């Protein structure tokens, strides 16, 4: 690696590090993981010896960060039964003031209001984490009926929980805005 390339890498690192971290954060939603991804990209570039010259270093790193972040999201995506997320809590801390939102009772109430077959299918597939095929066999119905009932359940739940989740969505946007504001203000 030439000294000129190493100086260019160092310059891009110093000048655009926060920008690359924000790009990665927009995908992975974890500042520590975003920093790790960006640092790994720079280490990979520094470790490549005798490779093809990079004409647009910033663009190359930008795309590398983007695709590494997407790859991280893809690799970390796992199916989690809805029961594990029922009591999820959103926390916003601003000088020891905390806002906690628990949707567990609302979600359980909305599930209880589902039509009987719809509720049975939803509980087996979403809460117990069973596959559609397994649910179909245990309930004695076709896989297409399971799919239809799940679609119906999600539609009803979305409609019944619209206001609660809309509030969480707006709260999430505000939180992300505040995080970006704090990052850029330093």
pLDDT in tens, 125-145: 877 778 888 889 989 999 999
**pTM for the whole thing?**
0.42
Give the model's pLDDT for residue 37: 92
SS3 state of residue 98: strand
Are 147 and 67 in a shared domain? no
Are 57 and 145 in a shared domain? no
| Res. 62: pLDDT tops 50 | yes
Is the distance from CB of 69 to CB of 34 less than 8 angstroms? yes
Mean pLDDT value across residues 42-47: 85
Residue 181 domain boundaries: 82-185
Rounded-to-5 percentages of helix, strand, coil across the chain: 75, 5, 20
Mean pLDDT value across residues 160-173: 64
| Res. 180: pLDDT tops 50 | yes
| Alpha-helical segments (H) within 29-131 | 31-47, 57-76, 82-85, 104-112, 116-122
d(CA 175, CA 48): 39
Going by pLDDT thresholds of 50, 70 and 90, the confidence category of residue 31 is: confident
Sign of CA pseudo-dihedral 115, 116, 118, 122: positive
Are 101 and 24 in a shared domain? no
pLDDT in tens, 88-123: 443 333 333 333 444 467 777 888 889 999 999 888
Domain count for the chain: 2
d(CA 153, CA 110): 10
Give the model's pLDDT for residue 98: 33
d(CA 105, CA 28): 29
d(CA 104, CA 87): 5
Residue corresponding to tokens 């924000």: 22
Give the model's pLDDT for residue 12: 85
Whichever domain contains 97, its CATH number is: 1.10.10.10
Is the distance from CB of 143 to CB of 121 less than 8 angstroms? no
């Amino acid at each position: 690696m030439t000294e000129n390339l190493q100086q260019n890498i160092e310059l891009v690192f110093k000048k655009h590090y926060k920008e690359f971290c924000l790009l990665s954060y927009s995908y992975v939603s974890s500042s520590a993981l975003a920093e790790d991804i960006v640092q790994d990209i720079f280490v990979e570039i520094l470790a490549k010896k005798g490779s093809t010259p990079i004409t647009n270093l910033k663009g190359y790193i930008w795309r590398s960060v983007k695709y590494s972040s997407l790859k991280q999201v893809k690799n970390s995506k796992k199916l989690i039964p809805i029961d594990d997320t029922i009591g999820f809590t959103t926390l916003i801390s601003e000088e020891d003031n905390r806002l906690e939102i628990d949707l567990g009772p609302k979600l359980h109430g909305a599930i209880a209001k589902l039509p009987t077959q719809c509720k049975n299918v939803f509980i087996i597939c979403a809460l117990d984490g069973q596959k559609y095929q397994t649910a179909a066999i245990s309930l004695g119905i076709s896989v297409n009926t399971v799919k239809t009932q799940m679609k119906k359940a999600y539609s009803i739940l979305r409609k019944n929980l619209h206001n609660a989740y809309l509030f969480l969505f707006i709260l999430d946007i505000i939180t992300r805005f505040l995080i970006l504001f704090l990052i850029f203000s330093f």
